[in-house]
Structure 1
Amino acid sequence: MMDFPLNLSTLYERTVRIHPGQEIVSVESDRSLVRTNYGEVDGRVRRLASALQNRLGIDQGQAIATFAWNNRRHHELYWATANTGRICHTINLRLFPEQVAYIVNHAEDGALFVDPDLVPLMERIAPNLETVRHYIVMGDSVGDTSLPNAIAYEDLLDEAEPWGEWPFLDERSPMMLCYTSGTTGNPKGVAYTQRSTYIHAISNLAMVSLTADDNVLPVVPMFHASAWGYPFMATAVGAKLTYPGPDLTPAGLVNLFEKERVTFAAGVPTVWLGIMHYLSEHPEADLSSMRGFLCGGSAVPRVMIDWFWKNRSILIKQGWGMTETNPVASVAMLKPHMADWEFDRQLDVLETAGLPAAGLQVKIVDDEGNRLPEDGEAFGELLIRGPWIAAEYYRDARSAQTFQDGWMRTGDVCKITPEGYIKITDRAKDVIKSGGEWISSLDLENTLMAHPAVAEATVVGLKHAKWDERPVAFVVLRPNANADQEELVGFLADKVAKWWLPDKVVFIEAIPKTGTGKFDKKVVRDQYADLLMG
């Protein structure tokens, strides 16, 4: 067999040749909508690749940073770097300024690309960036900015000659840097490689079945774990791509789903909960083109899977993964013998974290590292390994805490069923240990969110004088809905063990979110640390 490198450029070139007229639709930072296609974008990608090398002086193996929304120019940066051996470092827009400065300096980014509406944010951070030589404003003009050595993106392309043949690259060379959201300590970097991203794309295409007939809209940000790989997966099969830009409101997304006839999307549960509530109030919205979407990043409420299927015939596929897993590692899929089950029984499968992707291996272990049975009862920490799982953090001494004996410790407490489905009980740091017994905050949250008055709910363990920790629920009610503690605890009473029932239910306006849209339990715990100690 040929020793042919797994380069992403081979997937890219195939689609440019076979599907040059397939659309790429982009909502820009000014909310305007631009239509282009793979053929037109290829010309721009080739000029951008030349500009990175000749105008900006970015060599192979060196990184550029992006501070941008999901749009066509961000797409062009993904491919101009991947196809030429440069590294695209995507910056989470929701990180604290000091964290942004840390990761840009740690990655040694030589140039930084920023969307026009985000320039004011970057201006405040720029004085602390040590390696950035050029700032490129992703638009037609630089505008009024204090950013040093600022260049307009379109000027950069206008001055460049198109790149010729894409080079063959070492398949183990890095092509993207993604940093964890850094809830404790500085964010940790993960270097995705040509090989890992290529195999991730091919394997995941088998799980979500994308084709050139699809229109894919990644709601998940391109600054978060390569938008779960969807820009690469969609390009690999020549699917239409629709990028939503900065308007991620339920109204904005539903409008785009309707007008562009989107067939598949991907995002975190908080996004889809918002869309579910919006659709409940706007039954006239036409989502008939949508066949399904991948939902991950945190546990997907059973009630939401049920609602979308029964009310909109849209199947939610729950996925699980981490920045360290490139990122999708499992997807909840029904096996053939489950096709005739009643939907309520199928929900027992669809609400799991799913089956590991082909090529990956998983196991659960106890506190001493002993492997536990996969009987659906035993629970322990999930370990994973495979060709698109990180082996270390990028230039970080903390690697030894996570990567041990050829496995990656995920920090997720799980069960694995005899059928092979992963059922996440909790993050190890979020498990509530009350009187020596474990309580799953995720199970409590999902059950609470099945109550018709509840929009969002998170449950944390707070200090307790007698039991060490007790669960407390923090609830956001739906607009114009009413419920009190007695009603919600009563709702839980016949669904969970008595000693799992929350000691208190606190009603709040909004649950704090992390930079990737997950419930930020650390903020909640810190804010209400002594609630039960009075």
Structure 2
Amino acid sequence: MLRSAGAADAMDGLMQPRPLTIAHIVERAERLYAHKCVTTAGADRHTYAEVVHRVRRLATGLDLLDVPVGARVATFACNNRRHLELYLALPATKRVLHTVNIRLSSEHLEYIVNHAEDDVVFVDRRLLPRIWPSADRMPRVRHWVVLPDGSDHPIPADPRILDYDELLMRADPFAGSFEDAFASADENLASGLCYTSGTTGRPKGVLYSHRSTVLHCLGTLAAGLIGLSESDVVMPIVPFFHANAWGLPYGALMAGASLTLPGHSADPVHLLQLMEAERVSVAGAVPTVWSSLVPRLGNHDLSATRFLLGGGSAVPPSLSETYRAATGVPITHSWGMTEVSPVGAIGGTRTQHRGATEEEQVAVRAAQGQPLPLVNVRIVDVETGRALPRDGHAVGELQVSGPWVASGYFRRGADDSFTDDGWLRTGDLATIDADGYLRLVDRIKDLIKSGGEWISSVELEAAIASHPDVAEVAVIARPDPRWTERPVAYVVLRDGSDHTAEELLRHITPMVAKWWLPDDIVFMTSLPKTGTGKLSKSSLRESARIG
């Protein structure tokens, strides 16, 4: 068909308008990779064929519960096989998967479930005591479905509470094609809902579509980036509630890779034993988790590993290089946000770096990387909004656009998180070089302004983290009557270390400007974390303000 487009004629292609949906991911796994396995905690082992058969039962079970199309259905669960079944059945039946952070305060938990107007909550049995006290303050929830997880926590006698496996046994498997049910549907139907951490106000809901999820999934399969393939064994250590576990579950299923899920435990020995026993080739976690494994790396065979993904916060170069020395595989930087589904950029060296010196390659690996295909990034002057050059030196606010980037927030009015031309304002300060490499300088809110000059908390943290006895570090601004703000470092040392603040200052003195040196180094046994495992600088700021 020809149609007018100004002075020239444009022509439509003659291709089938089949929608991009998660239903395709489900049926692809069932048809092509039925023999592949999903393993939870090294014990619960099911093939993809068995998992999808249970997904078909769950699809009918949702009908038995009269869950309407478009309803938000919450999951309050760890990384396990039953949670994966919900990942597939809910969007494949046109419901909305709402993954809820299991570490939230009661206040935020109640706000999120009520704001989403969740119809049903699926909850791990061991987590039921965390959420059940709030049940009566979540009046829209009609059913609470308990997922058996091997625990024996008591279950209250309440007609609203159902058993997950009993529900599936009552339901006949859905015999049709999930994909055919979507044949005439809009691929922009909502598929998932995830709320931001709410560290600077009420959490905000990011509503993913089938189209955005499938395109993000394809991005994780791109060769030269994460490059998931059929030969991989993928282990999402990052929680399922953290922006769909960075897309790794959907990506693994689409590629035909086996999945290893850690269950409820994040114990370092448990994680390393799983990686060794299951021959995990790809794993993703936040830096604090990767750091916790370091003392035991030498005790396990991780020779199957080809790709270790770090995100959620900046990966200290020293941590990445520690893994490279111990396993041959560095931790690869990524950058993203809940609003970016979440992966927007992946780090690592490319062909142009083959002739670079070792020091130059380390610097490249320390960058957050290049944007994934279909993702666009730019930096702008914070005050004027003027676009800044991609020269690796100019620092500006990072803005992002693309088909898996949010355009607004769920049930929320106009928000200054978006520009007039539709780009997402990330709140990150960054540089972009001529090769498109993104390097984060800091969060705008985390910069320290001392005597009228800026200090990057990220760079100062990286310098301190380069000391081999530093397990964790966070740098914040403390009010100062003379300089307005001065940096303070909070440090966790590795077991057995007795280094002093003076020794750490001597270590970093050659690395940073003298006036960047922290006024104080506070040693702690652990640093406060957000619900997704990131360092909670807001908690440190509050303690510094009160102190």
Alignment TM-score, normalising by the size of structure 2: 0.93
> What are the Cα deviations for residues 351-374 of structure 1, in whole angstroms up to 9, with x where unaligned?
111101111111111121111111
Q: How does 1:307-386 map to 2 (within 5 A)?
A: 307-366=322-381, 367-386=383-402
State the SS of the aligned residue for 1:95: coil
1:398, distance to aligned residue in structure 2 (A) = 5.6
Write the mapping of 1:453-492 to structure 2, written as runs, cut at 5 A: 453-492=469-508
Alignment match of 1:433 (pick from 449, 452, 460): 449
Q: CA deviation at 1:437?
A: 1.1
SS at match of 1:47: helix
1:7 is aligned to 2:18: no
8 Å contact from structure 1 (residues 142, 152) kept in 2? no
Match of 2:164 in 1: 153
Cα 1:49/1:372, change in 2 over 3 Å: same
Which one-letter code corresponds to 1:7 in the other structure?
Answer: T
- After superposition, the C-alpha distances for 1:376-402 in whole angstroms (9 at most, x for unaligned) are 111011000010000001011363344
Counterpart of 2:199 in 1: which secondary structure? coil
1:262 equivalent in structure 2: 280
Per the alignment, residue 413 of structure 1 pairs with: 429
Deviations 1:150-189 (A, max 9, x none): 1100110001111122111311011100001111221100
Q: Would you say 1:278 and 2:278 are equivalent positions?
A: no
Q: Pairwise mapping of residues 82-97 of structure 1 onto structure 2 (< 5 A)?
A: 82-97=91-106
Summarize deviations over 1:403-448 as a string: whole Å, max 9, x none.
5421000000111112211110111110111111111101111110
Instruction: Indicate yes or no: 2:60 matched with 1:50.
Output: yes
SS in 1 for 2:115: helix
Q: Which residue of 2 aligns with 1:104?
A: 113
Cα distance in 1 for partners of 2:330, 2:511 equals 25
Q: Secondary structure of the residue that 2:473 maps to in structure 1?
A: strand
Distance in 2 (CA, whole Å) between partners of 1:380 and 1:530 is 32
Q: Which AA in structure 1 matches 2:238?
A: V
Distance 2:436 2:232 in 1: 29
| CA deviation vs aligned residue, 1:455-502 (integer Å, no higher than 9, x gap) | 111100110111111111111111111211211111111101111111
User: Are 1:211 and 2:211 an aligned pair?
Assistant: no
Alignment gaps of 5+ in structure 1: none
Aligned to 2:545, the other structure's residue is in SS state coil
Give 1:530 deviation, angstroms: 6.3
> Contact conserved, 1:435 with 1:469, CA < 8 A, in 2?
yes
Greater alpha carbon shift after TM alignment, 388-397 vs 403-412:
403-412
1:38 shift after superposition: 0.6
Q: Distance in 1 between matches of 2:358 and 2:264?
A: 36
Partner of residue 220, structure 1:
238
1:292-323 CA distance string (max 9 Å, x none): 21100000010111111112112321110000
Preserved CA contact (<8 Å) 2:390 2:436 = yes
Distance, in Å, in 1 between the alignment partners of 2:114 and 2:418 is: 23
- d(CA) in 2 for partners of 1:372, 1:184: 27
Aligned equivalents of 2:492 and 2:278: distance in 1?
A: 32
Query: Partner of 1:208: helix, strand, or coil?
Result: coil
Match of 1:516 in 2: 532
Letter in 1 for 2:163: A
Whole-Å separation in 2 of the counterparts to 1:81 and 1:44: 12
Matched residues in 2 for 1:14 and 1:513: separation? 38
Please identify, of 424-433 and 485-494, the stretch whose mean Cα deviation from structure 2 is larger. Answer: 485-494
Q: Give the alignment partner of residue 114 of structure 1, picking from 108, 114, 123.
A: 123
Matching residue's letter, 1:36: H
| Distance change >3 Å, CA 444–CA 226, structure 1 → 2 | same
CA drift of 1:143 comes to 5.0
Structure 2 vs 1, CA of residues 4 and 184 (structure 1 numbering), >3 Å: closer, same or farther? Answer: same
- The aligned amino acid for 2:316 is P
Q: Could you tell me which residue of structure 2 aligns to residue 165 of structure 1?
A: 177
| Per-residue CA distance 1:326-360 (angstroms, 9 max, x = gap) | 00000003221212434332111111111011111
Contact 2:378 2:400 in 1 (8 A): yes
Mark the runs of 5 or more structure 2 residues left unpaired by the alignment. Answer: 1-14
Structure 1 pair 502–142 and aligned structure 2 pair: CA distance change class (3 A): closer
- 8 Å CA contact 1:136, 1:153 repeated in 2: yes
> Is the contact made by 1:460 and 1:472 (CA closer than 8 Å) also made in structure 2?
yes
Q: Deviations over 1:261-307 (max 9, x none)?
A: 1111001000000011222xxx2311111112110000001011111
CA contact (8 A) 1:326 1:389 kept: yes
CA RMSD of aligned residues (A): 1.5
Q: Which residue identity lines up with residue 377 of structure 2 in the other structure?
A: V
Cα distance in 1 for residues equivalent to 2:393 and 2:329: 31
Q: Does residue 512 of structure 2 align to residue 496 of structure 1?
A: yes
1:16 has 2:25 as partner: no
Partner Cα separation in structure 1 for residue 25 and residue 128 of structure 2: 33
Residue 238 of structure 1 corresponds to 256
CA distances 1:243-267 after superposition (whole Å, capped 9, x unpaired): 1111111111001111111111001
Shift of 1:147: 5.0
1:84 to partner: Cα distance: 1.3
Q: Does 1:70 align with 2:85?
A: no
Secondary structure class of the residue paired with 2:429: strand
Which piece of structure 1 moves more, 395-404 or 417-426? 395-404
- After the TM superposition, which of the residue ranges 334-343 and 295-304 deviates more from structure 2? 334-343
CA separation in 1, counterparts of 2:420 and 2:197?
A: 22
Partner in structure 1 of residue 12 of structure 2: none
- Distance (Å, rounded) in 1 between the aligned partners of 2:34 and 2:408: 38
Q: Whole-Å Cα distance in 1 between the matches of residues 357 and 71 of structure 2?
A: 53
Per-residue deviation, 1:202: 0.4
The aligned length equals 523
CA 94–376 in structure 1, closer or farther in 2 if over 3 Å, else same: same
Aligned residue identity for 2:303:
S
Please give the secondary structure, in 2, of the residue aligned with 1:389: coil
* 1:443 matches 2:459: yes
Q: Distance in 1 between matches of 2:415 and 2:173?
A: 40
